[in-house]
């Protein structure tokens, strides 16, 4: 088996804001397996500043994978626990290699264009006017679930934006989610949650920074509306530690990004534990190219989760790959009449 990897820099169409700063580009890596006439491609979607495997030896570990591919998928995935984005890319590459087509990872009604996936429309942080423009655009495009990243500008301004949406659209017409990316402090988080609750918010992701376990547990004990863990899951590798975290905090939801939690196998483990504790979940991409997004979407479809998923990031980049992934009226489709163009890999 031949194996190779290469780096690729995805460029944002316009700078995208989070509470951790402004994103202009996104580094990613592609892992390619070749066996006979078959080729498999996986995306190792490291997220600098967020991934547990944002380490100086990242490229060295990719080279190690190439040198040790003879160990096989199962052994390699086990040995790569501390490199979840490489796990994701390697797992996808093996599935891609075994499929009828390199980009048909999980055969389903989604891949045959018979079913779609409900997704949220993502509103990036910006000034008042920029965020209003994004909101109006998403609603015009037919999204019925809107997710706003908050915490970078004045909270009162963010509240006013949410009030504007709620004044025009009932909770039944538009579902509102917010993602604080840990922007609130433990001392003011509950007060802010109560103010948000008046606007019939579906859920909030990571209201306070990860690692404040007791404070997060206190918030989740009796929140005015559901709390979802996101960054809190990053870097938790062992099953017993995952279970301890969920039992301690008892969130209402967890958000699963395969590239950040150990690929599909790692995400499945989180799902099994969450289900056993009555904790809800949904799947989100982590700024992958269409190659990684495609794999995540196909996998998500097999899970039959009816909540809107966070898979609407494919149109963010100027140099993404042409693919059959299409968003129509807040639904992600795999349009099999369209083809892939990965000529620059």
Domain locations in the chain as residue ranges = 2-98, 117-334
Residue 245 has pLDDT above 70, yes or no: yes
Residue 288 has pLDDT above 80, yes or no: yes
What the block records as the tokens of 309 is 């998923």
Q: How far is CA 177 from CA 42, 71, 111, 144, in A?
A: 30, 43, 28, 11
Q: How far is CA 25 from CA 9, 10, 13, 32, 288, in A?
A: 7, 5, 9, 23, 11
Confidence of residue 315 (pLDDT cuts 50, 70, 90): confident
Question: If you classify domain 117-334 with CATH, what class do you get?
Answer: alpha beta
Question: Which residue shows structure tokens 């289900």?
Answer: 275
Query: Which pLDDT value is given to residue 71?
Result: 97
Between residues 124 and 45, the one the model is more confident about: 45
Confidence of residue 18 (pLDDT cuts 50, 70, 90): low
Q: Calculate ∠ Cα 78-48-16, nearest 5°.
A: 135
Residue 15 has pLDDT above 90, yes or no: no
Separation of alpha carbons 152 and 161, rounded Å: 14
The structure's pTM equals 0.95
Residue 344 has pLDDT above 80, yes or no: no
Residue 246 has pLDDT above 80, yes or no: yes
> What percent of the chain has a predicted confidence (pLDDT) above 90?
86
Residue 17 has pLDDT above 70, yes or no: no
Residue 313 has pLDDT above 80, yes or no: no
Catalytic residues: 149, 257
Query: Which pLDDT value is given to residue 73?
Result: 97
Confidence of residue 146 (pLDDT cuts 50, 70, 90): very high
Query: Which pLDDT value is given to residue 53?
Result: 97
Query: Domain 2-98 is of which CATH architecture?
Result: 2-Layer Sandwich (3.30)
Query: Which pLDDT value is given to residue 85?
Result: 98
Confidence of residue 205 (pLDDT cuts 50, 70, 90): very high
């Amino acid at each position: 088996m031949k194996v190779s990897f290469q780096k690729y820099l995805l460029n944002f169409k316009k700078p995208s804001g989070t509470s951790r700063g402004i994103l202009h580009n996104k580094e990613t890596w592609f892992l390619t397996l070749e066996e006979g006439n078959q080729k498999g491609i996986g995306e190792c979607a490291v997220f600098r500043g967020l991934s547990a495997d944002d380490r100086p030896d990242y490229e060295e570990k990719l080279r190690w994978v190439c040198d040790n591919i003879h160990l096989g998928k199962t052994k390699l995935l086990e040995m790569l626990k501390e490199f979840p984005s490489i796990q994701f890319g390697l797992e996808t590459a093996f599935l891609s290699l075994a499929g009828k087509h390199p980009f048909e990872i999980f055969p389903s009604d989604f891949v045959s264009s018979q079913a779609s996936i409900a997704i949220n429309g993502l509103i990036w942080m910006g000034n008042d006017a920029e965020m209003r423009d994004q909101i109006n655009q998403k609603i015009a495009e037919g999204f019925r679930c809107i997710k706003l990243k908050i915490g970078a500008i004045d909270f009162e301004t963010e509240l006013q934006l949410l009030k504007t949406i709620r004044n025009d659209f009932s909770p039944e017409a538009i579902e509102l989610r917010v993602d604080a990316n840990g922007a609130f402090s433990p001392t003011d988080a509950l007060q802010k949650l109560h103010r948000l609750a008046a606007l019939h918010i579906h859920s909030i992701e990571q209201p306070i920074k990860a690692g404040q376990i007791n404070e997060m547990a206190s918030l989740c004990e009796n929140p005015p509306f559901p709390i979802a863990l996101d960054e809190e899951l990053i870097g938790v590798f062992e099953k017993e530690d995952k279970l301890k975290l969920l039992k301690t905090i008892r969130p209402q939801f967890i958000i699963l990004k395969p590239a950040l939690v150990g690929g599909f196998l790692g995400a499945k483990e989180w799902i099994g534990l969450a289900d056993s504790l009555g904790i809800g979940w949904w799947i989100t991409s982590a700024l992958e190219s269409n190659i990684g997004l495609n794999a995540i979407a196909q996998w998500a479809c097999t899970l039959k989760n009816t909540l809107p998923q966070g898979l609407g990031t494919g149109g963010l980049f100027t140099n993404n790959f042409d693919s059959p992934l299409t968003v129509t009226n807040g639904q992600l489709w795999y349009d099999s009449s369209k083809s892939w163009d990965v000529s620059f890999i």
